[in-house]
Amino acid sequence: MEKEQNYIILDVADGTSMAVYNALPENRSGKLPAIIVLQEAYGVNHHIRTVTERFAREGFVALAPELFHRTAPKGFEGDYTDFSSVMPHTKSLTNEGFEADLKAVYSWLTGQVNVDQSRIYSVGYCMGGRVSFLANSLLPLKAAVSYYGGGLDTIADRAKNLHGKHLFFWGGLDKHFKSENIHTVIKAVEAAGKDFITVKISYADHGFNCDERVSYNESASKEAWALTLAFLSES
């Protein structure tokens, strides 16, 4: 686990407490943009903490909430080679729980004097890609990003509530999603008249952004990172 000073503990409306990994930019003068980094199904692990730190180096106040906090200990990390290690936690998740967690993080961010409340974003990976979409429909975010968001089609009806622009990444080799699932999401966003960008990387698989997974694709990861930063800066 990282040092204790890398974590804050937030009270959630349902009476639970949630650990949140935080990373701050070196230059903390003036009002800073902030981003909520939403985990894969394997927890706020080394990869997600690294991603959070990368956003901090780009000048964001970056927070990664532990979405398994109701069922897993602080610092929980699942095994990428054994999905059964995380199933007890993923099965207990609910949209209501996600909403409570997101509101707690957003409330903390808007209470910080160095955070520009007009420039708060979210980004999520796999399971977190769905939560990032949920966050954009729930909170007045400036923009949000979803990398290969699992189950996004199940909450496509929330597209009508999106606040900021949304960027979607999909892997062309990803067997987790069918083309019709992606179509359901994009059709809903189009029907709602919301601004979005959708990118399918033909040579990328599920989890292509994570250099700790066998599906990692360096080219796709670098290209998606560059587009993500450009998207956030122009939103």
Q: Write the CB contacts of 4 (distance below 8 Å, at least 6 apart in sequence).
A: none
Task: Answer whether residue 119 shows pLDDT above 90.
Answer: yes
> Average model confidence (pLDDT) for the chain?
95
What is the mean predicted confidence (pLDDT) over 101-122?
97
3-class SS of residue 83: helix
pTM value is 0.96
- Name the amino acid, one letter, at 72: A
- Which residue segments constitute the domains of the chain, with CATH numbers given? 4-234 (3.40.50.1820)
Please calculate the CA angle 142-223-217 and round it to the nearest 5 degrees.
120
Cβ(144)–Cβ(135) below 8 Å: yes
pLDDT of residue 2: 53
Name the DSSP class of 79.
B
What is the mean predicted confidence (pLDDT) over 140-153?
96
What is the mean predicted confidence (pLDDT) over 45-74?
97
Which residue, among 9, 14, 11, 36, has the nearest Cα to 97 in the 3D structure? 14
What is the mean predicted confidence (pLDDT) over 87-103?
96
What is the mean predicted confidence (pLDDT) over 6-14?
96
pLDDT tens, residue by residue, 162-179? 999 999 999 999 998 889
Q: How confident is the model at residue 1 (pLDDT cuts 50, 70, 90)?
A: very low
What is the mean predicted confidence (pLDDT) over 182-189?
98
Helix H or strand E encompassing 61: strand 61-65
Q: What string of DSSP letters covers 88-149?
A: HHHTT--HHHHHHHHHHHHHHHHT-TTEEEEEEEEEEETHHHHHHHHHHHHS--SEEEEES-
What share of the chain has pLDDT > 70, as a percent?
A: 98
